Structure formats: structure tokens, C-alpha cells
Structure 1
Amino acid sequence: MKLTKTLKADVLVIGAGAAGLRAALAAAEAGSQVIVTNKGPVAKSGITLTAAGGMQAPFHPEDSSEQYFQDTVKCGYGLGDKALAKILADGACASVLDAERYGARFVRGADGNFSLGQFPGQSKPRNLFVKGGGIGLVAALAQACRKNENIIIVDDFFVTGLVKANSSGATRIAGAVGLNLKTGELTLIQATAVVMATGGCQWLWEVNDCPTDATGDGVVYAYRAGADLVDMEMVLFYPSVIVWPPSIKGAFVHYEFLAADVLDGNVYDKDGNAVLPKPLPVRDEAMRLMQQAISAGRGGPHGGLWWYVGDSPKGLAAVRTKLDIAQYNYIKSHGVDPSTAKIEVAPGAHYLMGGIHIAEQCQTTLQGLFATPECAGNFDGANRLAGSGITATQVFGARAGLYAHQWAAANQIADADTGSLEQETWRVARRIGKSQPAASNVRELRDRLRAAVQLYAGVNRDQAGLNRLAEIACEVQAAADSEQASEVTNYNLQLVDLLQLDVMCEVAQVVAGSALLRQESRGHHFRTDFPQQNDDNWLQHTLAIRTENGPRFSTKPVL
């Protein structure tokens, strides 16, 4: 397989979820010519579509950006960089108003003000509800991008890796190589600046609430190019991901809705005992309490506990009114009434809090490469406040796009380094074979990796298990190395699966190594062999850097 096409832009945005689309709008409105790629159909694929809680912003008259900042730092157990947390808090309200300007709609009260909910960890009511959830937000942003003459959207385009510039000195990124799934063309997109906005890696865990394309591509592409990764052990496990019935497995029900002032339900064990205290704890505390109950044998036949609001003192009518939103209508469409059914749930991978290390302008440690949450890290810390995920896509998405534009305006487009380009095209081409492969081999290898990640890097972790995970990731990677995809022109999904499996193996190694390095428990990282939080030694970030001999791990101060 050879390169057959070249595209050029001032700014390339990889990923068309809420963060990528907001970055594209910011860069284009500032004057850059922008190309946005997405490995599936835009507004019909990606992690943002699964978001159902809304955004967090301090619109309440007794709230403030300073209080939001303090809540973020506290909830993150002091591990988030304060400058980035301050940027998030200070930009939250403006990001909501921008989203409205682009066509997103929010729930408002009879007085015309935003309807605000108070979720665990928020000192004041701060959660706004987007009509249509993540789907509604992405649809509005996508429509705004399509109306902007400076933006070209290329969907069904699977980026395979970054390409370095032909320049001396510090490493600079010159663009990316990708496979146009519609045509089969291997394409080079040259760009003066690149924004990585590809989301997280939650699908590595067997229990998760994310789509199958959440495989960590962008994180690994930056890592392969030489960017620092930060706090990759910090994956948020949402307390109430559905594990049964199978028709809705992988969706989630809000544990926040169990609060006394919302629906006043609970999560129950097999004997009918309530598992969560009131007021509800923050997410990491809730998921640990639930995991403890499951590990103690108090769970159900499918490894979960029962989320139930059918006994709510609010009454059935009030419960059904509250649950009349997209997330729960989806559940009802699959034959389960969430207002009366006992739904088996367990903690599942929900959000990557680590990722590509960024500074205040969303710049990475590589020149010309910018990144935005969720694939960017080091501001949430060890836990994330409910509602901050979508807010971060808008605050940092806009910021990444603006500063990518400024970089592009101040620099010339660079030629791709021949060696870097050849290496990337070879890495894809070597996966193509003329014989029909055994597709089951790839599935079996992937299943083995995901089972190991779930078992050894789930809610509970220890040294022996993490070492075993690193070994299994290397074993799977070695076994997959000889696998090839058939020579298919259009929508070569076998090739995509193979390339994504390579990515997943590298992510698993970095998660295992980062978790091994952090010899303490903090937030969503719980080491059974180091069960205490250790501020004396571990109030610092973990870093992972790729070398010829594999990942190298170190630490970095929290700023």
C-alpha cells in the first residue's frame, strides 16, 4: 500500500466529537483553513454521543468560577494542575453560551434561567442539561462546522499515525497519515498545526459505557511521535454501568439521580441492602463501595448490584417525568422500564483523566501538536466532577483551536520527514496480505487483552496483577504482529481492527506501567498493596515516554 493522495491545511483536527468540532470552529473563525477527520460518520460516532449528564458551569447566583476551581482541585485529590483547572472554571460559562450560539439547547426554567442540578462534589447547583445530551451538542457543532467555509470535514477516515517534520532541533509535527475508508486511499494530510481530539481508551476494559472505537488512538499516536503521556493510570470508573440485561449492556444509569433531592433511590445488594450512603459520595468513593460489595459476594449473577428507583418516595409519576430524557428513553426502547425495573450495574470505565500532557495553551511537548480532552490529561487529577467532561471539551477545544491557529499563522507548513513518512506507510502496508486471514484470531487476541485489563487494571490493582497485565499486553502484541488483513479497497475493517489492536496493546502497557509506578491509592487508582493516599511521595504526576526499548516511566511535579 502506497500513498496515493495529499491534502493540505493550516490546521488539522483529528477527531470530530465535541472537542474536535469546537477546536475546528475556533481555528476557522480565527482565519485558518481547517481539515477535520473522523474515523466514523460525523455526529453519528464517537464518545461524546454517549454523554447524558450535561455540562457544569457556575451560573448559580451563589456560585463562582473560583468555587468551581476549588471543587475541581479538591475532587481531583490535588493531582490536577491548578493553572489548567482555573482555565476550565473561568471558561465554563462562556463555553455554554458559545454552545448555544452554535445551536445547542439547554433546559431552562419558567423564569428563563438555566435549570441547574447539584451533583456530588459540586458545592452549589452547577449542572446544566443539554437537550439531546451529547448527541444534541455534537449535532449543533457539526452543523456549525458544515456552514463554515474554512472547514472541510472528512469522515470515515481512519488516521493511522502522525508524521514528523523535516527539520532540525526540537521535534515538530507535519501532519498525519490516514486511510480513507470509503475509497481505500492512503492519504497524507500536511498541516502546520495538528489538534488531537480523539477521546479516550475506555473500550480496553470489558465493563465500560463507551463505543467500540474508544481505543486510545490519538493518545498512542502522540506517544509514538515522542509526546509525554501523563497519569495514564487514572481512568474514571463510573459507578453504575449496566451489565444486565444484555439488550442494554454498556449503557449507564445515573448514580447521581439516586440523590435524595432527585429520585431518592439507591443501589442494592442481593439481600436488598442499600450500598450507597446519603448524601451520595463522589464517584471514586461510590465505585469503591460498590466494588467492595461485589467482591464480598453481595452482588448478582452477572457481577453487579441493582440500581433501583421503583421504591422512590417521590412517586412513580415524578420518577417517570425525571427519566423522560434520551438516555432513559433509549433504555425503554429496549424493553426495560427504568422507573420500575431493577437494573444490574457495576463500576465501568467511563473517562480517561490522564492522557497527552498539555500546557496552558493546549500545546503538547511536541512543536505544532496540540491536544484537547479527553485524550489530553493533567487537569482533572485523580477524579473528575460530574459535568466537567463536556465542559472541558468546549473550554479546551476552543483554546486548542485558537492556539493551533496562532501557531499556524506564525509558522510555515513543513515538509514531512522522508523517514517518518516511510515508517508510517510501511507500518500500515505490512498489515495487508493477499490471503484471507482468520478474523477470529484478532478477536480472540483482543478479547484476551480486554479481559486482562479488566482483571488487573480495574477498580482494584496490585503489583502482581499489573506486572501480569504488562506481560499479557506484550504477548498479545507479539502474537498479533504476524496477522494481516485481506486486500480490500473499501472499508477494510480488518485492517482497522489490526491497527487498533496494536494501539490497545501499547495503551495497556502504559496503563500497567503507570499504575505500577504510583505506589499509593488516590481517587480512581486503588492499589490493594498500597491502600493509603501518600501525599509525601505521590502528590505528583506519572509520566510515560516511548523509547526503542518500550515505555520509560518517571514523575513530574503538579503545577
Structure 2
Amino acid sequence: MKVSKQVMTEVLVIGGGGAGLRAALAAAEAGSAVMLVNKGPAARSGITLTAAGGMQAPFHPDDSPELFFQDTVKFGYELGDQNLIKVLAEDACARALDAERFGARIVRDEAGNFAIGQFPGQSRPRNIFFRGGGVGLAGALARACRNHPHIDLRDDFYVTGLIKASGGQPAVAGAVGMDLRTGEFTLLRAKAIVMATGGCQWLWEVNDCPTDATGDGIIYAYRAGAELVDMEMVLFYPSVIVWPPSLQGAFVHYEFLDPAILDGNVYDKEGKAVLPKPLPVRDEAMRLMARTIREGRGTARGGLLWYVGDSPQGEEAVRKRLSTAQYQYIRAHGVDPATAKVEVAPGAHYLMGGIFIDEQCRTTIAGLYATPECAGNFDGANRLAGSGLAATQVFGAKAGEAAHAWAAMVEHVNPDPASLEAEAARVTGRIGAGGPQEPRIAALRDRLRRAVQQYAGVSREAAGLKQLLAVTAEVEDALAQVRVPAMAVYNQALMDVLQLANMCEIARLVAGSALMREESRGHHFRSDFPRQDDTNWLKHTVAVKGETGPQFGVRPVIRL
């Protein structure tokens, strides 16, 4: 496959979720010509759509950015870089108001003030809510992007990799990918690139994210030479639905079990409550639930029973709380969450590690910027409810502004021919003669995901992590023999092969980082090192690409 088309822009944003859309708007409002590409339709694909709509922002009169900062540091087990946490806490309110300016609607009370909730770990009420959840937020931002004269938004464009700059300098010159609608293999040249591709949660069998959460952007940055941090830190949300099959991947709020909200609980198969009150933060809750399941007290399908049908608030209050689109979707699949015992288990929900960034969202590669959640190092070892959407808006804006500033200061750099040829050859090498390969690809992907779930889930230990590395190598070897037919447009099989290759690299990085961190902290639990070790492990794990594979190291946590 050869490059058949070249497009030039000043700022290229890869990813059309909440962070990418916000980055595009920031760069365009600052004066840059922006191109945003997304491998599906923007605002109709990606992880932002699964968010329930809560965003942390210290609007409450008793709250403050300082309290937000302190809560995030504390409940991230002091592993988050404090320069980033400070930016998040100080900018959240302004970015929420920006979202309203772009057309998102924030829920208000009868007096017209923001309706603010308080979830576990928040010392004050701090969660505001977007109407329509992540769908409502992403839809508003996408409309603003499509209406902006300086933003070229292209759906159905699958980026396959970054292209390095010529001359050997650690910089990027652009990206290449497939325009799925035309089949053209296109070089996108840009002065600055913002990576906003989300996380890799679909690598786990039990997760609440869409199938496109395959970690692509993280791997592209890694292959280009960027540092990754804390890839072992994956947040497992306590209450992801595991039954019925039609609802697997949806979730119900464990936060709603709080006495101040609906005062429900999670029960084992004998009807015994699993969670204490007041509710623990997410990592504590998911460990309690996972331990209950391991002890054989779960359902036959490996879950526990989330239940609010006996809420002292009464059925009317329950139904009002569970009236959002998320719960209407659950009802449409035959389960009434207001009265049914819903089978749930901890599932992969959010990647807290990722590409290393500074407070301007700069990576360790010149011209390359990244936003959470494909960027890491601000949450630490646990994320409080509402920080995910807050990060998309705060760091999306920062990344767009910084990318514009860089693009305004530099000229286009030439792509390195060897980098371009290598990426084209990597993609072309997956195409060959033969019949459809979808069943074989699916079988290999299922094997990898089972291994990740088993060996790098809620509980890890050295032998299992090494077994995951072995399985990953076997899957990669088998995948190397797979060739898919050439197709002019929408070559889904080729996308599946390339995404599975990315997933294999992610699995290796997760396993290697988890092996390195010989302690338990937040969502990383090592059964062979069950205690938190502040003496030796109050620091980030780091992964960079070496000549023969990933090289692992550490870097200090930034403190203020």
C-alpha cells in the first residue's frame, strides 16, 4: 500500500471524543487551521459516549480548587503528578462553562443553580451533570466543531501510525491512515499533533467500553518514541453488568448506593450486603466485590447483585434517579433497574496510565501532545467519579492551546522517508491472497482478552503476568501469519488485524509494568505483594520502545 494522497494542516487532532473535540475547538479558536480525524463517526463512537455525564468541578460554595486538589492527591494514593492535578482543579469550572457555551446542557435545580452531587472521595459536593451524559456532551462539541470554519472534521478515517520528522530529531511530521470511505492511504502532514484516542479497556473481557477502545493512540506514540507511564493502572469500575448477555458492558452506578442517594447495596448470592456504609472509594469497593466473588459467594455467572428495590427513598425517588438514557437502555433490554437485582462485577472502566504529559499536554516528542485518557500521570492509582469528563475538557483545551502555540511558532517539517516507508510496509504486509479471515482474527482476539482478564485483572501476581506475556507472544506469532483480502473501502478485516496488533503491544506493556510494580496501590493489586510500599514505589513506572521491545524504568512523581 502506497500513499495515494497528502493533506496538510497546522494542527491535527486524532480522536473525536470529548477530549479531541475540545482540543480542536481550542486550537481553532486560537487561530489554527485544524483537522480532526476519527476512526468512526465523531460523537457516535468512542469512550465519551459511555460516560454517565458527571463532571467534577468545584462550583459548590463550600468547595474550592484546593479541596479538589487535595482529594485527588489523596485518593490517587499520591501517585498523580501534582502539576497536572493543580491544572485540573483550577480549570474545571471554566471548562464546564465553556461546554455550556458550546451547547452542552448542565442539569440545574428548580432555582436555576447547578445540581451538584457528592460521590465517594469528594470532601464536598462536586459532581455536575450533563444532560444526555457523555452523548450529550460529545454531541454538543461535535456540532460546534462542524460549524467552526477553521475545523475540518473527517469521520471514518483510521490512523495507522505517526510519521517521524526527517533529520533524526525526536519530533513528528504527521500521521498516515486509511480514509475508509474512499480507500485512500493518506499522509496527514501537520505542525502539531494532538493524540486524543482514549484508552484500551476493550483488552479486558469484562469492561464497560466500546469495541474501539483498543489503545491505538498510546501505541502510536510509543512507537514514535514517547514515554508511557503507569500502564499497570487500570480502573476497574465496581458494578459492570455481566448478565444478561444483551446488557454486558453496560453499568449501573455503585455511587447511587450511597445512603444520601438511594441507599441500596451489592449483595452476594445469600443476600448478604458486600459494601460498608458510607461507601468506600472505587478501588476499595471493587476489591471487596472481587474478593467476595473469589470466595465463591457470587452468582453462578460470576457476579454479585446490585439492588435498589428496597431503597428507603421509595420507588418514586428511585425511578426519578434512574430515568436517564443509560437506565432507559437497560429497561429496553428487559431489566428494570428500579426493582430487579442486577448481576454485576468489576470491569475495566478507565486507563489511568498512558502517554506521559506535562501541564501543557506536551509529550516527550516535539510537536506531539496528548490528552487523558490516552495520556496518564494525573489520576495516580485511583480516579474519583467525575474526573474523567473533567479531564477531557480541561486537558483537551490545554492540548489544543499548546498545539496552536507550537504550530504558530514552527514551519512544517519533512517526513522521514524511512518512517513513512516502514509504516506503509507494515500495513501492506497484512494484505494478501486468501479468503475471509474474520473468524481466525476473532479467535485470536478472544484468546488475548481472556488471558488479560485472567492474569491482569483485579488481582495479579508474577506467575500469571508472565503467563500473559507468553500468551501474548503466541497470539502475535499466529497473527503474523494472517492476511486479509484487499478492499477498496471500509476494510474492516484490515482494521481488525491492525487493532489486534496494537492490543498485543498494550498487553505486553500492561504486564511488564505490573510485573515491575512490586506492591499493591489503588487499582493495582499484586497478591504476591499485597501491601502498599511508599518507601520503594511512590513513583511512576515508565515504558519506552527499545530496539528489541519495551524498556521499563521509573520516574519520580511531580510534587508541588
Bucket of the pairwise TM-score, normalised by the shorter protein: over 0.9
Distance 1:187 1:272 in 2: 57
Distance 1:281 1:484 in 2: 48
Distance 1:533 1:218 in 2: 31
Which structure 2 residues correspond to residues 250-261 of structure 1 after superposition, within 5 A? 250-261=249-260
Distance 2:262 2:553 in 1: 45
1:89 and 2:103 matched: no
Distance 1:148 1:164 in 2: 29
Distance 1:179 1:477 in 2: 23
- Which amino acid is 2:234 matched to? V
Which structure 2 residues correspond to residues 23-422 of structure 1 after superposition, within 5 A? 23-168=23-168, 170-422=169-421
User: Partner residue of 2:540?
Assistant: 541
* Structure 1 SS opposite 2:4: strand
Distance 2:186 2:443 in 1: 30
User: Alignment RMSD, CA only?
Assistant: 0.7
Distance 2:75 2:427 in 1: 42
| Cα offsets for 1:340-383 (capped at 9, x unmatched) | 01110000000000000001110000000000011000010000
Q: Residue 305 of structure 2 contacts residue 341 of structure 2 at CA under 8 Å; is this kept in 1? A: yes
Q: Residue 361 of structure 1 contacts residue 399 of structure 1 at CA under 8 Å; is this kept in 2? A: yes
User: Partner residue of 1:5?
Assistant: 5
**Post-superposition shift, 1:484?**
1.1
Q: Residue 245 of structure 1 contacts residue 343 of structure 1 at CA under 8 Å; is this kept in 2? A: no
Question: How many residue pairs were aligned?
Answer: 558
- Which amino acid is 1:162 matched to? L
* Structure 2 SS opposite 1:25: helix
* Structure 1 SS opposite 2:166: coil
| Cα offsets for 1:119-155 (capped at 9, x unmatched) | 0000000001110000000000000001111000111
Q: Residue 163 of structure 2 contacts residue 173 of structure 2 at CA under 8 Å; is this kept in 1? A: yes
What TM-score, normalized to structure 1? Answer: 0.99
**Post-superposition shift, 1:434?**
2.7
Stretch moving more, 76-85 or 469-478: 469-478
Q: Residue 19 of structure 2 contacts residue 395 of structure 2 at CA under 8 Å; is this kept in 1? A: yes
Distance 1:81 1:341 in 2: 42
- Which amino acid is 1:278 matched to? K
- Which amino acid is 1:132 matched to? G
Q: Structure 1 stretches of 5 or more lacking a match?
A: none
- Which amino acid is 1:15 matched to? G
- Which amino acid is 1:212 matched to? T
Distance 1:432 1:207 in 2: 31
* Structure 2 SS opposite 1:396: helix
* Pair 155,404 (structure 1): closer, same or farther in 2 beyond 3 Å: same
User: Partner residue of 2:469?
Assistant: 470
Distance 1:119 1:541 in 2: 27
Distance 2:357 2:505 in 1: 20
Distance 2:447 2:246 in 1: 23
What TM-score, normalized to structure 2? Answer: 0.99
Q: Residue 58 of structure 1 contacts residue 93 of structure 1 at CA under 8 Å; is this kept in 2? A: yes
Distance 1:176 1:25 in 2: 20
Which structure 2 residues correspond to residues 453-492 of structure 1 after superposition, within 5 A? 453-492=452-491
Which structure 2 residues correspond to residues 437-448 of structure 1 after superposition, within 5 A? 437-448=436-447
| Cα offsets for 1:268-315 (capped at 9, x unmatched) | 000000000000000000000000100000000111100010111111
| Cα offsets for 1:382-413 (capped at 9, x unmatched) | 00010000000000000000000000000001
Distance 1:70 1:167 in 2: 44
Q: Structure 2 stretches of 5 or more lacking a match?
A: none
**Post-superposition shift, 1:111?**
1.5
**Post-superposition shift, 1:548?**
1.8
Distance 1:356 1:44 in 2: 25
Q: Residue 53 of structure 2 contacts residue 132 of structure 2 at CA under 8 Å; is this kept in 1? A: no
- Which amino acid is 2:439 matched to? S
Which structure 2 residues correspond to residues 491-502 of structure 1 after superposition, within 5 A? 491-502=490-501
Distance 2:437 2:183 in 1: 21
| Cα offsets for 1:400-447 (capped at 9, x unmatched) | 000000000000011110000000111111111132143211111100
- Which amino acid is 1:252 matched to? F
1:513 and 2:483 matched: no
Q: Residue 437 of structure 2 contacts residue 493 of structure 2 at CA under 8 Å; is this kept in 1? A: no
Q: Residue 240 of structure 1 contacts residue 252 of structure 1 at CA under 8 Å; is this kept in 2? A: yes
Q: Residue 237 of structure 1 contacts residue 524 of structure 1 at CA under 8 Å; is this kept in 2? A: yes
Distance 1:76 1:261 in 2: 24
Q: What percent of counterpart residues are identical?
A: 66
* Structure 1 SS opposite 2:414: coil
Q: Residue 53 of structure 2 contacts residue 131 of structure 2 at CA under 8 Å; is this kept in 1? A: no
Distance 2:291 2:109 in 1: 40
- Which amino acid is 1:124 matched to? R
- Which amino acid is 2:255 matched to? E
Q: Runs ≥4 in structure 1, deviation > 4 angstroms?
A: none
Distance 1:246 1:435 in 2: 33
Q: Residue 473 of structure 1 contacts residue 509 of structure 1 at CA under 8 Å; is this kept in 2? A: yes
**Post-superposition shift, 1:490?**
1.1
Distance 2:149 2:414 in 1: 26
- Which amino acid is 1:490 matched to? V
- Which amino acid is 2:279 matched to? L
